[in-house]
Amino acid sequence: MSPARAWFLAMAIFVACYPSLTEATTYTVGDAFGWAVPSNTSYYQTWAADKTFVVGDVLNFTWTGTHDVADNISKADYDACTKVGTVLGSPVLIKLETNGSQYYICTVGPHCSLGQKLAITVMASTTNSTTPSPSAVAPSAATSTSKSIDLLNLAVLLFVLFG
Ligand SMILES: *[C@@H]1O[C@H](CO)[C@@H](O)[C@H](O)[C@H]1NC(C)=O
Ligand SMILES: *[C@@H]1O[C@H](CO)[C@@H](O)[C@H](O)[C@H]1NC(C)=O
Ligand SMILES: *[C@@H]1O[C@H](CO)[C@@H](O)[C@H](O)[C@H]1NC(C)=O
Ligand SMILES: *[C@@H]1O[C@H](CO)[C@@H](O)[C@H](O)[C@H]1NC(C)=O
Ligand SMILES: *[C@@H]1O[C@H](CO)[C@@H](O)[C@H](O)[C@H]1NC(C)=O
Ligand SMILES: [Cu+2]
C-alpha cells in the first residue's frame, strides 16, 4: 500500500468512526445500584467523578421502592436538601439540555441528607473537529443513520482504493 493510500484509508476509518465519538451517552445513575439511599453521603459524587457529561447526554434514574427525583433545583436547595423542583417518578430519563451545573435530589423522607443527591457539571461539547463533516457541524444530529451513511462511504472508499 502506498503512503497516500494508507493516509486515505486512515482518514476514511476516522470519518466512519467519528459519529460514535459524538453520540449521546445514556448514564444509569448509580449503575447497578441505581437511585437509592447509598452507603455514604459522597456515593453519587464518587459515581459522577470519573464521567464527563455533555449536552445531549441522558441521565437514567431507575429505582424500586419509594424514591423520586427533583429536577431544576438550585445549588442552595441541593446543599440544604430543600424539597422543591419538579418531582418525577421512576423511570426518569432526563436529557441534559444546557451546559453548566445540574442538581438532583430525592425528596422522600431524609434520603437527600443521607446522600441520595447528585450534582453534575454538563459540558457544552467535548469534540471540536477541524475536519469539516456533517457531524462536526451538528454533533447532536449524529445518529445511527449518519453512521450507516459514513460506513457506506467507507465501503465505497475501500472499493475505490482496493477494488
Ligand atoms: C462511598 O461508597 C462508595 C461505593 O461503595 C465508595 O467507592 C466510596 O469510596 C465511599 N466514600 C466514602 C467517603 O466512604
Ligand atoms: C434505564 O436503566 C434501567 C436499569 O439499568 C434499564 O433497565 C433501562 O433499560 C434503562 N433505560 C434506558 C432508556 O436506557
Ligand atoms: C427544567 O428547566 C428547563 C429549562 O427551563 C425546562 O426545559 C425543563 O423542562 C425543566 N424540567 C422539568 C422536569 O421541569
Ligand atoms: C456554556 O457554554 C458556553 C459556550 O461554550 C459558554 O460560553 C458558557 O459560559 C457556558 N455556561 C456555563 C454555565 O458553563
Ligand atoms: C471550536 O473550534 C472553533 C474553530 O477553531 C473555535 O472558534 C471554537 O472556539 C471552538 N470551540 C470550543 C468549544 O472549543
Ligand atoms: Cu429516596
Range of the domain at 96: 23-140
CATH of the domain at 29: 2.60.40.420
Residue 62 domain-assigned (yes or no)? yes
Q: Which ligand is nearest to the CA of 62?
A: 2
Q: What angle do CA 65, 69, 70 make, to 5 degrees?
A: 145
Partners of 45 in the beta sheet? none
Residue 5 domain-assigned (yes or no)? no
Residue 130 domain-assigned (yes or no)? yes
Question: What is the best residue among 25, 26, 28 to mutate for testing ligand 2's pocket, by most ligand atoms within 8 Å of CB?
Answer: 28
Place of cell 447528585: 118
pLDDT value at residue 20: 52
Which atom in ligand 5 lies closest to the alpha carbon of residue 128?
Answer: 1
Residue numbers of the chain with a pLDDT score lower than 70:
1, 6, 8-22, 126-163
What's the CA-to-centroid distance between 72 and ligand 3, angstroms? 6
Structural domain count, the chain: 1
Q: Which residues, by Cβ under 5 Å, contact ligand 6, an ion? A: 67, 106, 108, 111, 116
Residue 160 domain-assigned (yes or no)? no
Residue closest via CA to ligand 5's atom 11 equals 128
Q: Is 101 left (phi over 0), alpha (psi -120 to 50) or beta?
A: beta
Residue 116 domain-assigned (yes or no)? yes
Residue 15 domain-assigned (yes or no)? no
Residue 10 domain-assigned (yes or no)? no
Residue 90 domain-assigned (yes or no)? yes
